[in-house]
Amino acid sequence: MLDLPAPKNDNGETHMRTTDLTRRRTTAALGAGALALSLGLQFGATATAAPGSGQAADVVAAAKPKFQMPFACNTHWRLDTYDNGHNPALDIVVKNNTGSSGKNVLAGYKGKVAKTFWDRGAGNVIIINHGSGWYTAYYHLKDKHDRYVQKGDSVTAGTRIGHIGATGSNSGDWAHLHYEQRYKTNGIPTEANRKPVHFNGKKYTGVGETWKDVVSKNC
């Protein structure tokens, strides 16, 4: 392409050649369109992330209640996940695994009792609905499942719902609390809807993990 001199008007002022101006405007428009398309694709990927993806999981985690441990403030506990069939549920006992039987089990966040029942393997069970699809589950409770709370009862963080026990054939006859955090948008979730456990904003999960001294901040 020839580099022709730009034309001048009657006052001697230089004007950009019309074709050159058009070309530059077109280039700028195409660049802006490409940028908008790129941003649109990025936004769309975020907004429509497939269920189970890392992005979707982050959205779920962001809406998660700030659960506390289901025990009295400043008490010390041991947490275990065990194998892949048990994780992300936790089995919880007193630190050093001494004297767990009969210890108070408390709600770790406000909510409403969704269900209490007896299960052959899990023993006395309580399920609490904490809103926005989040639930907690408590297994092997020592007392009859509806002794302290019943379906429909409102609870707050610190409400006693039972005591640690060894009920149900899956307890192994040793007193501990099997604890789960579950998420499901419609209906009461099951074990298939378990999520990694968080206490006071910290995650406790992973196959074969043990935390020997976790302090409850359910204050």
pLDDT at 188 exceeding the cut of 80:
yes
Instruction: Name beta bridge partners: 162.
Output: 105
Rounded to whole angstroms, what are the CA distances from 77 to 63, 74, 120, 141, 211? 26, 10, 26, 17, 8
pLDDT tier, 158 (very low <50, low <70, confident <90, very high otherwise): very high
- What pLDDT score was predicted for residue 62? 54
Number of alpha carbons in the 13 Å side-chain half-sphere of residue 64: 25
pLDDT tier, 56 (very low <50, low <70, confident <90, very high otherwise): low
- What pLDDT score was predicted for residue 190? 97
Kindly report whether the global pTM for this prediction surpasses the value 0.85. no
pLDDT at 40 exceeding the cut of 70:
no
pLDDT tier, 63 (very low <50, low <70, confident <90, very high otherwise): confident
Comparing 52 with 37, the larger pLDDT belongs to 52
Q: In angstroms, what is the C-alpha Rg of the chain?
A: 29
Phi-psi category of residue 114: left, alpha or beta, with phi > 0 → left and psi -120 to 50 → alpha: alpha
Question: What is the rounded average pLDDT of the residues 34-63?
Answer: 44
- What pLDDT score was predicted for residue 3? 40
pLDDT at 211 exceeding the cut of 70:
yes
Question: What is the rounded average pLDDT of the residues 153-173?
Answer: 97
Comparing 216 with 16, the larger pLDDT belongs to 216
Domains of the chain: which residue ranges? Answer: 1-48, 66-215
pLDDT tier, 13 (very low <50, low <70, confident <90, very high otherwise): very low
CATH of domain 66-215: 2.70.70.10
